[in-house]
Structure 1
C-alpha cells in the first residue's frame, strides 16, 4: 500500500485551485513538448519503424492537452473534495495518498518524451510508460472507489491512452532493435 509523502507531493494549494490543478500539467506537458524540438521530434518519429496503428504526429499535441486537462481536473476533484474535514479519515488518507501518486506519475509522464526522443532510450521509456500505466490504473481505482467516482472515471481515458502509448513505445523499440541512436532522420519532412 502506498502512503502520503508530503516531500513527494505537489502543494495542497495547487490541488485546491481548479485552474492551477488543470493548468499545471497542461503547462508542464507543453513545455516538455516544446523543449524536445517538435519539428525534429516529428522527423524522428517518421524515420523510425513503427508498429501498425500509429497515429500521425499532429494527433499527439491535442490528445495530450486534453488528457493533461482531464487528469488535472481529476486531481482537483479528488484532493479538494477528498480532504474535506467532513470526510472520514480513510477518505482523507486515500485522497492524500492519491495526491502523492499523482505527483509521482506526473513526473514520470514528463520524463517519457525526453527519454524516448532526446536520449533515444526506448527501453527506459517503455519501462517508464509501463510504470505510468500501473500507477494511473491504481490511482483511478483508488480515487474512483475511495474518494470521488468522477475523479476515477476522469482517469480512465488517460489509462487507455497509456495502454496505447505502451504499445507504441514497445513496438517502436522492438522494430528498431531497441536502438534509436543511429536512425537517419530525413531533413526534408
Structure 2
C-alpha cells in the first residue's frame, strides 16, 4: 500500500481538490473554497486523503446543528449542540477498496475532534450517497455504506417515519474504531 496521509486541505491543494471535486459531482469546493484557500480561516473542515502525496479522496466535517438535517439526526438523543456531522465522503474509484476511505473518515474525525477539544457524537446522512447513481440499487448500496461506515463504529438509525430502513447513521465516540485495528 502507498504511504497514506490525511490532513486538512490548504491553498497548495486547490487544483487537485477542484479536479477531484469535479469527478465526484458533489460540488463541494465552491462551498468550502474560503477554508481551503485561506489557512487562517477558522472552522475549516475539508479533509483530504493522500496516497504517495496524491490527493485521492476528501470529506467534510462540521457541526450537526443545521435545522435542514433530517429529523433522525436533529431529534436523536445523542445529538447536542457540539455534535459533528460528516458529509461528502469521496474516494477516487481507482483507489477504492484499499482502505483509503475508512482511513479518511477515521483521521478526519480525530482531526476535527482535536480542533473542537473533545470527541463528539457524529452523524451522517446516507440519502445523498444512495441516489447519486441512477443505475445503482439503493437498498444494496445502503447495505454497502452501512458496512463501510460501520468500520469506524457508525450504527444505522432506523427511520420509521419515512418507512425507510436506514438513511442516517450515528457514531457514539465510545464506539469509535480504528479501521486498521480489525
TM-score by length of 1: 0.28
Larger Rg, first or second structure (1 or 2): 1
Query: Per residue, is there more strand in 1 or in 2?
Result: 2
Higher relative contact order, chain-length normalized (CA < 8 Å, sep 6+):
1
